A and B are shown apart, each in its own frame.
Chain A
Amino acid sequence: SQQGEEDPQALSIQEGENATMNCSYKTSINNLQWYRQNSGRGLVHLILIRSNEREKHSGRLRVTLDTSKKSSSLLITASRAADTASYFCATGLYNTDKLIFGTGTRLQVFP
């Protein structure tokens, strides 16, 4: 199975609500990254959190990392219709240049 698995697979909310997506992984990581993908497009990097960090913010995004539980969460506050997209976590492992991507969470924000 995937190194990173997102939960839920799909999420529908109203504009203004918060959206929380979770990512679990299996092996020790160097960092964990979140990417967004609009329908039919490439991925856009959102935020990177290193293994020695517990929380990071960027605008309306808040990412947490719990290495003891091998999990991360992405919180989007005050969501907008433009946040509608798929969100992927990707784990960067030690001693490798690869990123391992999860299968993504599809977020739908209704106006």
Chain B
Amino acid sequence: DVKVTQSSRYLVKRTGEKVFLECVQDMDHENMFWYRQDPGLGLRLIYFSYDVKMKEKGDIPEGYSVSREKKERFSLILESTSTNQTSMYLCASRLAGGSETQYFGPGTRLLVL
């Protein structure tokens, strides 16, 4: 079975702090994704990566950056958190080639005070 893990389940940060959210998958998937999930808005794509050192902006990249130095690891970076970044963050991975099944991690619930 595909396993996608995320570094934290819950995080509480103060405005202006830097946050790293890490995602690791164990199935040698080329593609990885970061979403945020907010009530009434569903899942929105922040960034995705086709392969190592490759990244593409999603629908809401502002305020975020990403890093993919190794195939299994995709990090989401919030350089200076703001209260409107309070959300559930979900990582997913997928074998390359089209819009097929994505495998999700358990999510990180981030609260910015």
Residues in chain A within 8 A of chain B (CB atoms): 2, 30-31, 33, 35, 40-45, 48, 88, 90, 92-93, 96-99, 101-104
Contact = CB atoms under 8 A, between A and B. Distances in A.
Nearest to B59: A98
B99 A93 contact: yes
Contact of B48 (A90, A92, A97): A97
Contacts of B101: 33, 45, 48
Contacts of B4: 42
Given A42-B4, A42-B90, A92-B98, A101 B42 contact: yes
B107 to A, nearest CB: 5
A44 B40 contact: no
A2 to B, nearest CB: 6
A104 B42 contact: yes
Interface of B: 4, 31, 35, 40-43, 45, 48, 50, 58, 88, 90, 92, 94, 98-107, 109
A24 to B, nearest CB: 14
A96 B100 CA distance: 11
Nearest to B41: A103
Nearest to B103: A45
B99 A40 contact: no
Contacts of B88: 40
